[in-house]
Amino acid sequence: MEFCPKCGAVMFPSNRRFKCQCGYEMEITDKLKDKYNVSEEVESKDTVIFTGDDVGTLPTTRAECPKCGNMEAFWWLQQTRRADESETRFFRCTRCKYTWREYD
């Protein structure tokens, strides 16, 4: 990911440039292409989902961790069952990183 030096937001590739929501733009050079392996361009209206251990940008909520008792967790929704069933809520403790889920 490339971050905007002006506001710190994630910049997305579009028309051979990295563009930020604040208006800052940076040309995608061959050096950047090699660094990021740019395979497709994303329009700003598209939704991009990142998964992995780095969830620091996710929203937080007041929820008790069943493992350590901490009262704050990151949360996200994910469709894990059929499309006609509701999403699954996932939580990850901000302290011990334990992840659990809740169903509706």
Residue numbers annotated as active site: 84-85
Is there a binding annotation on residue 4? yes
Residue from 102, 104, 72 nearest 89 by CA:
102
Minimal CA–CA distance to 38: which of 24, 21, 18? 18
Confirm whether residue 93 is marked as ligand binding: yes
Tell me how crowded residue 78 is: count the other CB atoms within 10 A of its CB: 12
| Residue 69 assigned as binding residue | no
Known binding residue 89? Answer is no
Indicate the annotated binding residues for Zn(2+).
4, 7, 20, 22, 65, 68, 93, 96
Indicate the annotated binding residues.
4, 7, 20, 22, 65, 68, 93, 96
